[in-house]
Amino acid sequence: MIEEELFSSLEVVPRRAIATTARFVYGENYTCLPMRHHTETGGFGKTAEYQWKVGDRWCTLSAQTVDPPKRPPEGSLEQFITEAGFDGDACTLYGRELATVLQRSPQCAFVADGSPVIVFMGNKVQ
């Protein structure tokens, strides 16, 4: 049985302690699910696959590069959005509206390097 909290969760992490800390200390909407990933590099190509388990089914977000790395053109869609292939039950975890977007073919797809994350204690907005 999927917990009720999943219906409004947007951030998935593999460790219960991370999800609990994020929720109670920082007020972030995190949940803990089994997760796994796989990356593979060959020449200019790179494949990245991330998975998390909802109920008894693995959801998969994947992308494969075909060109050498380059900066996206100024003002381009790639400069603002990252998209990739998705397979799984997005509706249960993210809601019907986002699930509709995730389950259609993307208009474009690209892989972007992430950035380091630093977490600070937040301040309540009045």
Write out pLDDT tens, residues 62-84. Answer: 888 877 777 778 877 766 654 47
Report the alpha-carbon distance of residue 94 to residue 33 in Å, rounded: 14
Same domain membership, residue 44 and residue 25 = no
Same domain membership, residue 27 and residue 84 = no
Same domain membership, residue 27 and residue 78 = no
Reduced DSSP (H G I as helix, E B as strand, rest coil) percent helix, strand, coil of the chain, to 5: 25, 30, 50
Same domain membership, residue 71 and residue 11 = no
Distances (CA, A) of 94 to 57, 68, 70, 76: 15, 33, 31, 27
Same domain membership, residue 40 and residue 22 = no
Report the alpha-carbon distance of residue 42 to residue 88 in Å, rounded: 27
Same domain membership, residue 52 and residue 23 = no
Same domain membership, residue 54 and residue 93 = yes
Q: Which residue has the higher pLDDT, 21 or 121?
A: 21
Q: Which domain, by its residues, includes 2?
A: 1-33
Q: What is the pLDDT of residues 5-61, one digit of tens each?
A: 444 547 889 999 999 998 899 888 899 999 999 999 887 788 889 999 999 999 998
| Residue 118 placed within a domain | no
Report the alpha-carbon distance of residue 126 to residue 117 in Å, rounded: 26
Q: What is the pLDDT of residue 80?
A: 63
| Residue 83 placed within a domain | yes
Count of domains for the chain: 2
Same domain membership, residue 56 and residue 44 = yes
